[in-house]
Structure 1
Amino acid sequence: MSEKQYSDPNEGPPFDDPSSSLEERMKDPVFLQTQLDAYEKARTETREAYEELLRRIRLTPTRKINPLYYYVSGAAAAVLLVVTGYFFLHASRQAPPLAYTAAKGQQTHVVLPDGSQVWLNSGSRLTYTARTGVTRQATLDGEAYFEVAPDKTAPFHLSAGRTETVVLGTAFDVKAYRGESVSITLLQGSVRVDYLSKNMLLQPGQTVLARADTFARQNSPDTSSVLAWKEGFFYFNGTLDEVARELAHWYDVDVTLRKGMVFKDTVISTTPRNLPLDSVLRRINELGAGHLRREGRTLDVMP
């Protein structure tokens, strides 16, 4: 009986051939040799692929990391964590700024979160920000009287114009309307006033004036006149143009001056602030220091 040759390992008596069985195929030496050759070929290809993979791994460069790197990285991470924590801690301790205003013809009394009391004069605006245990910062545009609650751990800083007043606990008046000179009068305690590159300490009964290059201190024996506005009165003690600007803050009018006009006479008067503007103008004009004339919302100042 001749033997059938199988050139392909998959060839041979098919399993579904009823004339062939697995036992018969296993007895065929040609079939067995073909299967063995296929196995050896597959094993060789697998080994070669594995050796190529190992060769590529060995060729991959590696970097030796200095142990100091881990210490430096850990220290940097720790510092970053501390700084970030400090920032968020103190940011959370800073309250959002608060704003207070007094409309024209009105004055407002406010109590700040730290317990300090502030009286705002007509047309004034105050903003306040506090950082617990660090500082208290306020900014004033206009005029206000302060009674600052003592807190040695958080000084009270007041910015008005280009001045900076630093206090721990005291009572003082600040007048700093935009475009006008700044005056600060101390009634109780002690304050330091900074202006440009200079600073000055005030004692009760003293006033500091700051404008342009002027930074001067003077005694104010009658401090009650400084707070006349807080009690509902105008206290005039200046030239007619200064009086007109004081009225403008309260009655919400604009002041016009003729070019080159100079006023030398001093107007001294105490007048209730609850009077109509026309009544106040008549009182001032009777003093003979000049003439104030109202036209709508404009106040003309004439000699």
Structure 2
Amino acid sequence: MQDKNRETTTNPTSDSRSWTELVDAVRINPEVDAMADAMREEVWRSVHSRIRRQGRWMRIGRWAAAAVVMAGVVCGSWMLGGMRTERRLEASALPVSVSTPLGVKSEVVLPDGSYVQLNGGTRIVYPAIFGRERRVTVEGEAYFEVVHDERKPFVVTTGSIVSTVLGTTFNVHAYPEDDDCRITLASGALRVDGAPGSRSVVLMPGEQGFFNRRSGLLTLRTVNVEQELSWREDKLYFRGEPLESIVRTLERQFNVDIVISDQALCGVRFTGEFVDGENIHEIMRIISSDSRILYRNYRNHFELYRNR
């Protein structure tokens, strides 16, 4: 029994010494030190690699940011330069004026591609280059087919009347010698502004803005668009129109001179259609079928006088 107890009893001093020796052996073992050094080198390489990658991406980020800023500067300078150039071209562009003599019709294509047909005795003025606004001036009668452009309104000025559109087809009848100005809409939408103090009207297809120069009133009315545009096909429609107004239409259509010698005849109203290519002599004979009116002519000069 004593022998067994002696074999299983431990010596504290001996155990301490054995643990110390084991630790010292591990600490001084060159293979373990080499492994530790290798692990430290690997860790540092990994850390340095990450630092380099982060630095490279930071540099790339800085370069990209600089490139974006430079591109913005270049584009901004290009756009500003383009705008300045466009404005200089607009400012230096001379106005274009096109006039048609009486009895002659002509066609005009504007800088934006819009189409205009001019009736006899009509004048249109427009800039050679359109800028932020497409503005034209008309004296007489013209039919417009406007190219749609939301960014650049199309403005037609006829005396004190201003018509603003984005894209539409319409007719302007605004001879300076007439007492009225008529804007007739065929398609699209159109806003017509009267003289200062007059109201504005928005036209829908088949409607007409009728401005009386004497009263300064702008009214809205429904019309037959086909008849209003009939001049384009050399057709004439008169609906209770005074003789004085009819005479002016005939002068423009046929390039003739017509005089009403008796002012009492100026207000006589006529209704009629000339759609079969009637010439001026045939039309004058039809007018003189009214028992109150006679006419005589010499070449392109006609005189209407009262039947006594």
For this structure pair, what is the TM-score category when the shorter chain's length is used for normalisation? Answer: 0.5 to 0.7
1:33-66 residue CA offsets vs partner (Å, 9 max, x unmatched):
xxxxxxxxxxxxxxxxxxxxxxxxxxxxxxxxxx
How far did residue 194 of structure 1 move? 2.0
Partner of 2:184: 185
Quote the RMSD (CA, aligned, Å). 2.7
- Number of residue pairs aligned between Structure 1 and Structure 2: 221
Aligned ranges for residues 80-159 of structure 1 at < 5 Å?
A: 89-93=86-90, 95-129=93-127, 132=130, 134-159=132-157
2:167 aligned partner, one-letter code: G
Relative to structure 1, the CA distance from residue 289 to residue 227 in structure 2 (aligned partners, 3 Å threshold; closer, same or farther) is: farther
Q: List structure 1 runs of 4+ shifted beyond 6 angstroms.
A: 83-86
How far did residue 160 of structure 1 move? 1.2
Distance (Å, rounded) in 1 between the aligned partners of 2:296 and 2:228: 26
Distance (Å, rounded) in 1 between the aligned partners of 2:220 and 2:294: 30
How far did residue 244 of structure 1 move? 0.9
Is 1:253–2:252 an aligned residue pair?
no
Partner of 2:163: 165
Relative to structure 1, the CA distance from residue 215 to residue 131 in structure 2 (aligned partners, 3 Å threshold; closer, same or farther) is: farther
2:229 aligned partner, one-letter code: L
SS for the counterpart of 1:159 is strand
Tell me, yes or no, if the aligned pair for 2:107 and 2:115 is still in contact at 8 Å. Answer: yes
- More displaced 10-residue stretch of structure 1: 88-97 or 179-188: 88-97
How far did residue 88 of structure 1 move? 5.3
Distance (Å, rounded) in 1 between the aligned partners of 2:225 and 2:293: 27
Partner of 1:284: 287
**Structure 2, unaligned runs of 5 or more:** 1-79
Distance (Å, rounded) in 2 between the aligned partners of 1:86 and 1:110: 28
Partner of 1:214: 216
2:183 aligned partner, one-letter code: I
Aligned ranges for residues 208-247 of structure 1 at < 5 Å?
A: 208-210=209-211, 211-237=213-239, 238-247=241-250
How far did residue 87 of structure 1 move? 5.8
Partner of 1:6: none
TM-score (norm 1): 0.64
2:207 aligned partner, one-letter code: Q
2:184 aligned partner, one-letter code: T
SS for the counterpart of 1:152 is coil
- More displaced 10-residue stretch of structure 1: 149-158 or 288-297: 288-297
SS for the counterpart of 1:261 is helix
Partner of 1:33: none
Tell me, yes or no, if the aligned pair for 1:285 and 1:292 is still in contact at 8 Å. Answer: yes
TM-score (norm 2): 0.63
SS for the counterpart of 1:172 is strand
**Structure 1, unaligned runs of 5 or more:** 1-82
Distance (Å, rounded) in 2 between the aligned partners of 1:108 and 1:298: 24
